[in-house]
Structure 1
Amino acid sequence: MISVNERAVRLAKQMVHDPDYYQVEVHRIHGAYVIDAGVEARGGWEAAKLVTEILFGALNEITIDTFPERIDDVYYNAVHVHSDRVVLQQAACNISGWELRPGKYAPVLAGPGRTVARKPGDWLSCYSDYSDQYHQAVLTVEKGTMMSEEEVQDLIDACGIDPEGLYIIVAASGSTVCSVEVAARILEQTLHRLREEKFNLDNIVEAHGFCVVPPVVKDDLIAMGRVNDVLMYGGQSTFTVDCEDSEIEAVIGKITSDKCSEYGRMFLEIYQEHGCDFYQVPMEMYSPAKVLIINQRTGRRFKAGEFKLDVLAKSFNFSIYDKK
């Protein structure tokens, strides 16, 4: 069986061995490697690419290209992603939200390391029974400040491995690394909606997609809004499946963001109206802008959704001077 941590650790070690190239800083806390890839360190495009590939279980490479539509008359970068093992990569490695222990929740914690921990109640259990027995692990944390000793110890305890084998990558929402790796979650954004609408995930053959990368802003609240806006209004996923057409027809009209009552508004506005609590925001908002599903059994295509470039323009122009 493939070990996503064995493969991901190789990539994490590249940053440890060559921090200047990746523009990261490496710290040792309780013996674990804590890699600052976008808090105090700059963490450039190469670091962003590497971290995103780690979140794909180091099973597929990602590329950076140009978003095909102009936003406010400007072309922006886009991250292009491919996934040959969609449930393993997106649910086991990429999806965020993990209860470390009762009452201690880390809403922006992800990475292959959760497959070593396999804690009861983790969302991963809804998707797969995969577990990784590798003796090393990689986790990513979206956080505006560096990890404290207590937080690192929590992760060491959760994974249950020797701290020397744990690699924790930290980046703020307002960083290049976070902007790229969250935009790359366009496939995970689609996968969880398919599951919620009762689509059989065993039907999925492969997936690929792209999403515009938002401009970086050194304000974590505005940055968080932008990275969610690009998924809802500027990302497309394409899933190849093998099933009856009727199974696709039952879900295709439900899984894009334009089906949500809050559609057409910046995520930041919605988030603030719901008490700045991700879990109070309507789940339908965590949906992709556009989806194409190709049924290889019949050759038919099914598509839904649209880009909403005017909202992206508003989001990308929103600055610290516009905050309430």
Structure 2
Amino acid sequence: MTLTSPLPAGLSVNAMSEPLVAQLIERSEELRVGITRTRAGTTIVDAGVDAAGSADAGMLIARICMGGLGHVARRMAFDAAPLWPVFIEVHTSNPVLACLGSQYAGWSLSATKEETGGKKFFSLGSGPARALACKEPLFDELGYRDKHERGALVMEVNRLPPQVVIDKVIDDCGLAPDKLVIAVTPTHSVAGTVQVVARVVEVALHKTHVLGVDLSEIVEASGSAPLPPPAPDDTQAMGRTNDAILYGGRVHLTVKSDAAARRLAAELPSSNARDYGKPFAEIFKSFNYDFYQIDAALFAPAEAWVSSLESGATYHGGKLDHALLHAQWHVTQETP
């Protein structure tokens, strides 16, 4: 057990994200997302498969992923020598519930080619509907289960989900078909790139969980990561979005105790991992595209600043890697 204080049972991540889901649908033309409905009434939001999608759609979907408990913004960097011109910034005052109880992509959803009538399907579901289904052991540790008549799920995949998967989500969540909304964001799409980079704080929370630090220690969490340029396919996009966090991600956590602050500053950064220093796409390929073979310590922000409420001290660990990001993102300095 890594959570000594229960999450607030009165907060429904699906209820809090509902106005954002409505906004995504109502502003579909402006946000360049496609809206379709299944025969049973389930709403599918296409944010990059056939529809163009947009960065604004990606930020709205990121907020939906966080169960309405996070702030997501885009900013320009005006430093003399910026790491990158555009960053995604994230903040939450309910970090454990927003990031692990909602945003974390932990629900495995798959179907065989026989079930789909075509080719097999696989996606990791993220967002507030996870807390309705509670199919992951993580929810037992968090001691949280949501109850709401509507739900929203996000799938980071390059095709729309088949009906067999939609039916599974409906059944596991205990929803009427017309009360479910699924947003699809391929990694290579603009919206997909944004919503993955907006996981910079979530990655820090997950690493904290992996380290075995009591999650109740974390009181506030903020983070930022560079928004990489678009990539021509999902594999390259996966490399770029992961590199953005592993080598350009920065988090600031506020925790209760000095001991937790010291430990997280030292152990949280990605530089603790065996394969640190290599582009993620190269690491992924070396393990035959199997996520579970990669050192779990790698999935973390590059830099951590951790402040202690107990002492008022702030501890710092890790570093950003300008050179690796610029090389991977093909930055060329033009001179007149």
TM over 0.5: yes
2:28 to 12, 19, 29: 19
Q: 1:99: Cα distance to partner? A: 3.6
Q: 1:105: Cα distance to partner? A: 9.6
1:242 to 256, 267, 271: 256
1:94 to 90, 100, 103: 103
Gaps of 5+ in 1: 319-324
Normalised by the length of structure 1, the TM-score is: 0.91
Q: Bigger CA drift: 228-237 or 144-153? A: 144-153
Kindly indicate whether residue 322 of structure 2 is the aligned counterpart of residue 313 of structure 1.
no
Q: Which amino acid in the other structure matches residue 58 of structure 2?
A: A
Over the aligned positions, Cα root-mean-square deviation in angstroms equals 2.2
Q: Which amino acid in the other structure matches residue 114 of structure 1?
A: R
Structure 1 residue aligned with 2:197: 183
Once the two structures are superposed, residues 112-168 of structure 1 have per-residue CA deviations (whole angstroms, 9 ceiling, x without a partner) of 00011112x443434x11111101000000011122222222222221200100000
Kindly indicate whether residue 61 of structure 2 is the aligned counterpart of residue 51 of structure 1.
yes
Structure 2 residue aligned with 1:117: 133
Q: In 1, Cα distance between the equivalents of 2:53 and 2:272?
A: 36
- Alpha carbons of 1:179 and 1:264: their partners in 2 closer, same or farther (altered >3 Å)? same
> Does the CA-based 8 Å contact 2:265-2:317 persist in structure 1?
yes
Structure 2 residue aligned with 1:322: none
Structure 2 residue aligned with 1:289: 302
Q: 1:101: Cα distance to partner? A: 8.7
Once the two structures are superposed, residues 280-321 of structure 1 have per-residue CA deviations (whole angstroms, 9 ceiling, x without a partner) of 111011011000000122110111000011111122129xxx
Once the two structures are superposed, residues 146-197 of structure 1 have per-residue CA deviations (whole angstroms, 9 ceiling, x without a partner) of 2222222222222120010000000111111111111111111111111222
Normalised by the length of structure 2, the TM-score is: 0.88
Structure 2 residue aligned with 1:163: 177
Q: In 2, Cα distance between the equivalents of 1:70 and 1:152?
A: 49
1:230 to 239, 244, 248: 244
Q: In 2, Cα distance between the equivalents of 1:268 and 1:162?
A: 40
Q: In 2, Cα distance between the equivalents of 1:122 and 1:105?
A: 23
Q: In 2, Cα distance between the equivalents of 1:112 and 1:106?
A: 19
Percent identity of the aligned residues?
28
Gaps of 5+ in 2: 1-9, 113-119, 332-336
> Does the CA-based 8 Å contact 2:109-2:124 persist in structure 1?
no
Alignment length, in residue pairs?
314
Q: Which amino acid in the other structure matches residue 50 of structure 1?
A: L
Q: 1:47: Cα distance to partner? A: 0.8
Q: In 1, Cα distance between the equivalents of 2:85 and 2:260?
A: 35
Q: In 1, Cα distance between the equivalents of 2:79 and 2:247?
A: 12
1:196 to 206, 210, 218: 210
Q: 1:100: Cα distance to partner? A: 5.0
Structure 2 residue aligned with 1:304: 317
